[in-house]
Structure 1
C-alpha cells in the first residue's frame, strides 16, 4: 500500500468528532506479530499539544484523514487579505 501522507501534513483520526489536530512526524517501522515481518509503509508517528504538553502516538495511516487547513505561517499568508496600495 502506498504512503498517503508526508512529514508536516496535518491529520486527525477518522470518525472522531473531538480529535486533536496532529502533525505527521514520520513513518515508523512496526513489526507484525505474524511471521515477524516489519511494515515500513503504513504506520505514522504524529505529534500534538494538549494543555502545553507535547504528545506523540503511532497510528495506521488508514485511521487518519488529512486536514485541508495547514496552520502556521502558510495559513496566515493564505487567509490575510492583501492591501492594494496603488
Structure 2
C-alpha cells in the first residue's frame, strides 16, 4: 500500500469531530498481527499538544485524514490591552 502522508502533514482521526489536529512525525515499523511480518508503510507516529503536554501516538494511515487547517501546535490567546483613561 502506498504512503498517503509525509512528515509535517496535518491530520485528524477519521470520523471523530472532537479529535485534535496532529502533525505527522514519521512512518514507523510495526508488526502485523495477522501476517506476522513487519509493516514499514502503514503506521504513522503523530504528535499533538493538550494543555501544554506533548502527546505522541501511532495510528494506521487509513484511520487518518488530511486536515485543511494548518499551523502551529500551540494555541495562543492574546489578551486585550487595558486602556488608561488619563
Common fold: TM-score over 0.5: yes
Partner of 1:58: 58
Cα deviation for residue 35 of structure 1 reads 4.1
Listed as ranges, the gaps of 5+ residues in structure 2 are: 73-86
C-alpha distance in structure 1 between counterparts of 2:58 and 2:37, whole Å: 18
Partner of 1:25: 25
Q: How does 1:60-79 map to 2 (within 5 A)?
A: 60-72=60-72
Query: Does 2:13 align with 1:10?
Result: no
**Alignment RMSD (CA, Å):** 1.0
Cα deviation for residue 34 of structure 1 reads 3.2
C-alpha distance in structure 2 between counterparts of 1:2 and 1:19, whole Å: 25
C-alpha distance in structure 1 between counterparts of 2:70 and 2:17, whole Å: 19
Stretch of structure 1 that moved more, 13-22 or 31-40? 31-40
Cα deviation for residue 68 of structure 1 reads 1.7
Counterparts in 2 of 1:32 and 1:18: CA distance versus 1, 3 Å: same
C-alpha distance in structure 2 between counterparts of 1:63 and 1:45, whole Å: 12
